[in-house]
Structure 1
Amino acid sequence: MATAEAKRIARRYPEEVATERNLDLIDELLTEDYVEHGPFGRESHGRAEDRAGMDEILTAFPDFEATVEDVIAEGDMVAMRVTLRGTHEGEFMGIEPTGRSFEVQNMLFTRIEDGKIAERWVQPDTLGMFQQLGVVESPTA
């Protein structure tokens, strides 16, 4: 597969699934045995678990968006730097809504297999997000 095609496939998830909320695209984009390696050692397996995770994010942050800033690909791997934004209006990871907004960077590695996303490693700046939402204190200088 050409690197341009791998990049196109990988960026469809943040742009079309997350930002445009096209969750039906998950079935088309992900392999049946898809695995996502997320923060805090969390993993999701398969399309149904991935969709449930995306539903949780979009319920907690109804204005959630993911903007792809940089994309680099080599072979079947695509690396992206993505800016995440949203306003905390629903429960998230047991945290009641704060009404506050966040904007953080997310490092994302995607492995493409037979034209579909087989595996992703997602590493957002979760501490930065929690600080901006006011659920953990920012360090003072």
Structure 2
Amino acid sequence: MTTDNLSALDRVQAAVNNGELDLALKLIDEVCAPDMILSTPLKLPVSGVEAQKVVFRILLSAFPDLHIETEDRLVDGDKIVYRNVVTGTHRGTYMGVEPTGKKITYNEIFIVRLDESGRIAQTWGVVDTAAQMRQLGLIPEIKH
């Protein structure tokens, strides 16, 4: 793991945070292996690096002000663990839900494995989709 690898990943996140989809997609091509494995429960019509691009197209279309704040980043050998807080305003269709204008905040944790060339070979993600759904009004709030 080099500071160059971390810097490249930070540039992708900065492009996403600035709503620069075209730049984010270009950077994804640079930092991800073409045959990367996106290990999440998402059902996508594509695989490899194209799947990663679809995820960000969906998110930035639904939440144009999407912001990913990394609260923790741990590096161990060829793996990086990110703990993020994600915010955004629901301005586009998301998971079949028409725009609500609601602001959402949710947590996610990702493990990223780099290949020998320093590109992303695989990701494992846990995203608090229940928080997303509650905040969009699709499931009831949990009462204590």
TM-score (norm 2): 0.84
Higher relative contact order (CA 8 A, sep 6+): 1
Q: How does 1:2-41 map to 2 (within 5 A)?
A: 2=2, 4-13=3-12, 15-20=13-18, 21=20, 22-38=24-40, 41=41
Write the distance in 1 (CA, Å) between the matches of 2:120 and 2:11: 10
SS in structure 2 opposite 1:128? helix
**Whole-Å separation in 2 of the counterparts to 1:43 and 1:70:** 28
Q: Aligned letter for 2:17?
A: T
Matched to 2:42, the amino acid is R
Paired residues, what number?
A: 137
**Could you tell me how far apart the structure 1 residues matched to 2:26 and 2:110 are?**
21
> Contact 1:31 / 1:116 at 8 angstroms: preserved in 2?
yes
Q: CA RMSD in A?
A: 1.8
| AA aligned opposite 2:54 | A
Cα offset, 1:43, TM superposition: 5.8
Q: 1:1-141 to 2 correspondence within 5 Å?
A: 1-2=1-2, 4-13=3-12, 15-20=13-18, 21=20, 22-38=24-40, 41-42=41-42, 45-113=47-115, 114-141=117-144
Identity of aligned residues (%): 28
Specify the code of the residue in structure 2 equivalent to 1:42. L
The answer to whether the Cα contact below 8 Å between 1:35 and 1:43 also exists between their aligned partners in 2 is no
Q: Secondary structure at the match of 2:121?
A: strand
Ranges in structure 2 where 5+ consecutive residues have no aligned partner: none
1:48 Cα deviation after fit: 2.0
CA spacing shift, 1:7–1:26, aligned 2, 3 Å: closer
* CA distance, structure 2, for counterparts of residue 43 and residue 12 of structure 1: 27
Cα distance in 1 for partners of 2:112, 2:43 equals 14
Give TM-score scaled by structure 1 length.
0.86
